[in-house]
Each structure stands twice: as structure tokens, then as C-alpha cells.
Amino acid sequence: MKITDAIHEFILYKQSLGMTYKNRALKLTAFARWAGPVEIDSISPETVRRLLDAGRPVTAEWFNKFSALKMFFRFRLSRGGGRVFLLLWFRI
């Protein structure tokens, strides 16, 4: 599954629960644009790290991106997609 399709599915899921889910949706779609039209299984921890760090210090915005990505990858893992090692990286 392409990363854009997976993120769109996750956003629709969150909205179906009654959440507006706008700010984190913007962060996730920005990640999808940044990663490019790739399969979700080709996303590596280094790719996620490059987006989060981008040569800047850790700020509140960093934690917002981190939280959105962590929720997304947990959702994918629970649906049988994604890779476990991405979640293991998030424990660090």
C-alpha cells in the first residue's frame, strides 16, 4: 500500500471517531509528500528520523510530528501493515 493511501485511511478512521483531526492530518500528509509515492514497507527509521530532525533542535513541533507518526504507525501495525521495527525505534 502506498504511504499516501495509508495515511488517508488513517485520517478517515480518526474522523469517523468524531475527531476533526486537522493539525495532525497536515503533519501526516506533509510526511507523505516528503517521503514521496512509495510503498509503506519501504519507509525506514532513517527516513522518519530525517523528517523529524531536519537539522533542528527538539521542540514542541518535533513532539507533535513524532506523536502523529507514532499513532499512524501503530494504526498500520494493528491493521496488518507497516513494520514492527519502526515502532521499536519510537521507544527510544
pLDDT, tens digit (0-9, with 9 covering 90-100), for 9-68: 999 999 999 999 999 999 999 999 998 899 888 888 888 888 888 778 888 988 898 889
Provide the residue range defining the domain that includes 79: 3-90
51-78 pLDDT, tens digit per residue, is 888 778 888 988 898 889 989 988 988 8
Domain count within the chain: 1
Say which residues have a Cβ less than 8 Å from residue 88's Cβ, sequence separation at least 6. none
Place of cell 493511501: 5
Cα–Cα distance, 29 to 4 (Å, whole number): 7
Say which residues have a Cβ less than 8 Å from residue 3's Cβ, sequence separation at least 6. 31, 32, 35, 37, 38, 39, 40, 43
